[in-house]
Chains A and B, each alone.
Chain A
Amino acid sequence: TQLLEQSPQFLSIQEGENLTVYCNSSSVFSSLQWYRQEPGEGPVLLVTVVTGGEVKKLKRLTFQFGDARKDSSLHITAAQPGDTGLYLCAGTGGSQGNLIFGKGTKLSVKP
């Protein structure tokens, strides 16, 4: 069974701080996605990484896919209250290529 472990589970920081969220597995994934979910809404896709070692930037968010395609990280620079939410990583796996989700990191950014 393919599993994705996310850490930390909870993170509470002050506005302006930097943070990194991790997504790790013992399995190789053909691609990995990051979603953000706000309270009362469904997850929304932020980025997809497909190549080992790939780095993608989305404004203050930097996503990295591990060289072996088993892990990924999300780094947020100068966090803002609007970054508050649940961050989920998801890897493409299984016989049907379905997404396997991590349990998420709940981020709270205080003004």
Chain B
Amino acid sequence: NAGVTQTPKFQVLKTGQSMTLQCAQDMNHNSMYWYRQDPGMGLRLIYYSASEGTTDKGEVPNGYNVSRLNKREFSLRLESAAPSQTSVYFCASSVLGQDGNTIYFGEGSWLTVV
């Protein structure tokens, strides 16, 4: 079972370069998310998509754009990378059950902006 798959695993960018992080899930979940994780800051929501065709800003959306290409795929784009965007990025998807939202995370993408 693949679950949530994100690529690339590691990336080094120069300031001002652009790149797209790809994410796909095979669990038929409606909701998908992009988080960033920084030391001492915990997981912070960048953008989320409650369903195909919709996207909404999270806590820290500045400098990012997203595309919900279809139900499976949710990409995160950095148009002009900045050193402050050095972080670990996690894609996730969720299903609503009787206990609320259960979130499944990908393995993370380590991004360094120099």
Contacts and interface: CB of A to CB of B under 8 A. Distances in A.
Contacts of A43: 43, 90, 103, 105
B40 interface: yes
A103 interface: yes
8 contacts: A33-B102, A40-B107, A42-B107, A42-B108, A48-B102, A50-B99, A99-B101, A101-B42
Given A42-B108, A44-B105, A45-B103, A102 B42 contact: yes
Nearest to B96: A97
Interface of B: 4, 33, 40-45, 48, 50, 56, 58, 90, 92, 99-108
Nearest to A45: B102
Chief secondary structure at chain B's binding surface:
strand
A96 B106 contact: no
Contacts of A101: 42-44
A103 B41 contact: yes
Contact of B106 (A40, A42, A102): A42
* 7 interchain residue pairs of minimum CB distance: A42-B105, A103-B42, A31-B100, A48-B99, A101-B43, A101-B42, A92-B100
A26 interface: no
Interface string A2-25: 000000000000000000000000
Q: What size tier do the contact residues of chain A reach?
A: 20 to 34
B100 A50 contact: yes
A30 interface: yes
Contacts of A92: 100-101
A96 B56 contact: yes
Which of B33, B48, B105, B107 has the most CB atoms of chain A within a 10 A radius of its CB? B105
A101 B36 CA distance: 12
A104 interface: yes
Nearest to B103: A99
Given A48-B100, A98-B101, 15 more contacts: A31-B100, A40-B108, A41-B108, A42-B106, A42-B108, A43-B103, A43-B105, A44-B105, A45-B104, A88-B43, A96-B50, A96-B56, A99-B101, A99-B103, A103-B42
